[in-house]
Amino acid sequence: MPRLSRRQLLKTAAISTALSTVPAPLLAASREKLVVPPLIEVRRGRPIVLTMQETNYPLDGSHNVTVWGFNGNYLGPTIKIKSGSFAKL
Do the strands 39-41 and 78-80 form a parallel or antiparallel pair, or are they unpaired? Answer: parallel
User: 10-19, 26-35, 63-72 — which is least confidently predicted?
Assistant: 26-35
Query: Domain residues of the chain, as ranges?
Result: 6-80
pLDDT digits (tens, 9 = 90+) for 57-89: 887 777 888 988 888 777 788 888 888 888 887
Do the strands 52-58 and 78-80 form a parallel or antiparallel pair, or are they unpaired? Answer: unpaired
pLDDT of residue 27: 57
Q: What pTM value is reported for the model? A: 0.48
Contact 40, 87 (CB under 8 A): no
